[in-house]
A and B are shown apart, each in its own frame.
Chain A
């Protein structure tokens, strides 16, 4: 009886979440893998199976490779610069005040800086993109070009110059992300026992030595989490590219990413089958990245 009541309770608690999850999450994922093998356009009564033809087409598709190249650049630059800047700021905020009395301390006003640095994180990416679109305007009405013209330089086509556009988008991603990692790394640094720093400082270690020999090795796990998180973000970028770049991925595909192409292919060109094949490719890229990062960085662990 008790057993029956227990199972009844378990079933009652699981039925709604599990049904919602199976119908709206699991089933579209499974369908996506099936549709990737069809040429379905969303209207045909029955999808026509075309085998691996979509993938063959994908590998010959210049736009696909352009998107992959852009992902590669973002995957390299976004985590590297974001983590470097965030570590630098977190170090200054938490330990930059030097040693005094009972150990290391942050610089003056560190709470204020943390609040400001984190602020872009709470704004929606679509909103941030519209804001930066105004800042990047190509003439004197844009903030940056307005300042450049005042100083006697020529205005720069931040979003229209094909060689520059991706970097302009990257700058916004970094602008928005850094504060989050400052807070994350600050929490990690706060967990390092103060006597480590005191002992090293007594032995004559300077700030740089403290950073590279104590902070960095002990923050290893937190940094790794940040790296995975930013790497996964590098495979997204949908809202930013869709709203901020010229013609959603332009100029001429210079800033395009797979999510933007998937959206376009499925909803503008009605090629649901082909879009699903792109989705499958994106899935394997993301998974490969996550597994590789965790593998490579799972070496020796430092015990606190």
Chain B
């Protein structure tokens, strides 16, 4: 029996592999952070040079002039309402589909689940014209509604599976106590489904935050309405050599750092939330 830890070649090499991969992730992020303090000459000079001074005004220009402040606020608003709406309507649909029998129940459930199999690129052309018909192009309301609609298949699928595992006895007890169906849902079943709700909320927040195709297609014109992914990608593709590159790097960091901070605080929940998402 080996009872004492034995440092050997294998554990040395495995540490080396882990350290290399960790550096491959940390170094690009650190480099981008440092580049946000450089001026244009430094950015187009030697990449491995440190900035000569900490130019905080890059960040101020990114926030004001490059519109990143607006993009961030837009994104937060759209994701907030998008996820809240998804969770509300998704859990309502999932609940009745999981725990009630009624004509058409199986069909409606399958209709929702089938949505997971279709690539959104198949719908994007017609979707544009539908949103246009409702007069919702270039609007946050339109984007929120579309986010909700496209988040429903997975949300309904996962939460329905979750609601099915909840014990029947509790719902029965609530019914005997005279609670209405609606009250039973909001005050008894929903609190019991909390772990599943949290996982799927995280999943939806990240998914909607990450969204690029839908805002690109549905908010094409009005720059004031853009979300962060659109804004950052636009600054980098349009910007030529005379553009404000230091502000671009600062903008990039403004898009990265808050997400990383939130991730580090909630890393346990986020990892398990996304994991549950993948193991559908």
A residues lining the B interface (CB < 8 Å): 5-7, 9-10, 12-14, 16-18, 20-21, 23-29, 31-32, 35, 42, 85, 88-89, 92-93, 96-101, 107-109, 112-127, 129-135, 137, 140-143, 145-147, 150, 175, 178-180, 183-184, 187, 207, 222, 225-226, 229, 235-236, 238-239, 242-243, 258-259, 262-263, 266-267, 272, 275-276, 279-280, 282-283, 286-287, 290
Contact = CB atoms under 8 A, between A and B. Distances in A.
Interface stretch (B166-174, B192-200, B232-240): B232-240
Contact of B112 (A21, A122, A272): A21
Contacts of B187: none
B22 interface: yes
A10 B229 CA distance: 38
B147 to A, nearest CB: 10
A5 B66 CA distance: 55
Given A101-B3, A142-B47, A143-B48, A239 B229 contact: yes
B45 A140 contact: yes
B11 A107 contact: yes
Nearest to A105: B5
Contact of A25 (B29, B149, B255): B149
A85 to B, nearest CB: 8
B14 A259 contact: no
A130 B146 contact: no
A124 B255 contact: yes
Contacts of A134: 32, 35, 249
A239 B121 contact: no
8 contacts: A10-B102, A13-B96, A24-B130, A24-B145, A121-B274, A141-B47, A266-B125, A272-B129
Q: Which 4 A-B pairs have the closest CB atoms?
A: A146-B47, A279-B122, A24-B149, A28-B126
B126 A125 contact: no
Chain A contact residues, majority secondary structure? helix
Nearest to A187: B275
A162 to B, nearest CB: 20
Contacts of B121: 236, 238, 258-259, 262-263, 279, 282
A124 B79 CA distance: 13
Given A18-B93, A96-B10, A266-B125, 17 more contacts: A24-B150, A25-B115, A25-B123, A29-B122, A98-B2, A107-B15, A118-B263, A119-B25, A122-B206, A131-B28, A142-B47, A183-B275, A243-B212, A262-B124, A266-B124, A279-B124, A283-B122
Interface string B105-145: 00010011001011101111111111100000000000001
Contacts of A85: 21
B156 to A, nearest CB: 7
A225 B275 CA distance: 11
Chain B contact residues, majority secondary structure? helix
A29 B115 CA distance: 9
A276 B122 contact: yes
A263 B120 CA distance: 11
Interface of B: 2-6, 10-11, 14-15, 17-18, 21-22, 24-29, 31-32, 35, 43-48, 89-90, 92-93, 95-97, 100, 102, 108, 111-112, 115, 117-119, 121-131, 145-146, 148-150, 152-153, 156, 180-182, 185, 206, 209-210, 212-213, 216-217, 220, 228-230, 232-233, 235-237, 248-249, 252, 255-256, 259-260, 262-264, 267, 270-272, 274-275, 278-279
B122 A26 contact: no
Contacts of B235: 130
Contacts of A118: 263, 267, 270-271
A262 to B, nearest CB: 5
